[in-house]
């Protein structure tokens, strides 16, 4: 069966460090992969989209990699800040722009 | 630009009652989605509309859930009768026309449903 796996344990890091979150998938051949941020009591917010033929994409302090051979995406936040604390969701796109989400990883950035 | 509007924000009902949620997407967004998010899980797609037509409702429990988008703008999701396991946040999202490309979604804040 198709699976999208994100680390269910919270990731705690110190302010200023780089946070790296992992998304692994099985039995998918996604054309696109997206990352979203979700704060408590709010809907997910779109961050980045990367295509299968792109290896890396950047946006300000964010960087996403997409390895279709390893079936893995890495999401990096450089110079992390307490305001980056949230749950980060990985989502894969198949046909029809239908997004299937992982369970998310909670990030806590401590002073 | 105004975001995706959803109402109500919270709803508590007894099992076997009915409930309806409303969503108004971003103006110009042809594609609308309803997701169910159970605590601790990622959102799960219930139904996808393209204008006023259904693109995908394969995960909608049709014996109790229904949704419509009659004029291709706002949408209503209904549950009748509700079960305890329907307790979740119901998220509405919209995007530009998926037939022209792949786009990020814009989500509303959701409706938190508690069935007691």
Confidence bin at B68 (pLDDT 50/70/90): very high
Interface test with B, best of A23, A99, A104 (most B CBs within 10 A): A99
Confidence bin at A96 (pLDDT 50/70/90): low
Residue B39 CB neighbour total at 10 angstroms: 8
Give the pLDDT confidence of A30-66 residue by residue, as tens digits.
888 999 999 999 999 999 999 989 989 999 999 999 9
Q: How many CB pairs (< 8 A) connect A and B? A: 57
Supply the mean pLDDT for chain A: 93
Q: Average pLDDT of B3-32?
A: 96
Judged against a pLDDT cut of 70, whether residue A95 lies above it is answered with no
Supply the mean pLDDT for chain B: 94
CB contact under 8 A, A103 and B41: yes
Nearest-angstrom CA–CA distance, A75 and A90: 9
* DSSP label of B99: G
CB contact under 8 A, A49 and B45: no
Is beta strand A72-77 parallel, antiparallel or unpaired with respect to A62-67? antiparallel
């Amino acid at each position: 069966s198709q699976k999208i796996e994100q680390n269910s344990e919270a990731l705690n890091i110190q302010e200023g460090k780089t946070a790296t979150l992992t998304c692994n998938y099985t039995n998918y051949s996604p054309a696109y992969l997206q990352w979203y941020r979700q704060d408590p009591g709010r809907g997910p917010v779109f961050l980045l989209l990367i295509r299968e033929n792109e290896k890396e994409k950047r946006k300000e302090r964010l960087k996403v990699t997409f390895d279709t051979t390893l079936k893995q995406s890495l999401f990096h936040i450089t110079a992390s800040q307490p305001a980056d604390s949230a749950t980060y969701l990985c989502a894969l796109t198949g046909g029809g722009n239908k997004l299937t989400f992982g369970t998310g990883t909670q990030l806590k950035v401590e002073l | 630009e105004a975001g995706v509007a959803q109402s109500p924000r919270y709803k508590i009902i007894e099992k076997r009652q009915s409930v309806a949620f409303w969503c108004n997407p971003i103006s110009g967004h042809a594609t609308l989605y309803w997701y169910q998010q159970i605590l601790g899980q990622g959102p799960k797609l219930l139904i996808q509309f393209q204008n006023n037509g259904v693109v995908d409702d394969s995960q909608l429990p049709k014996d109790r859930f229904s949704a419509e988008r009659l004029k291709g703008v706002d949408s209503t999701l209904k549950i009748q009768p509700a079960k305890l396991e329907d307790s979740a946040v119901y998220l509405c999202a919209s995007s530009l026309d998926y037939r022209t490309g792949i786009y990020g979604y814009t989500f509303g804040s959701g409706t938190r449903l508690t069935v007691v």
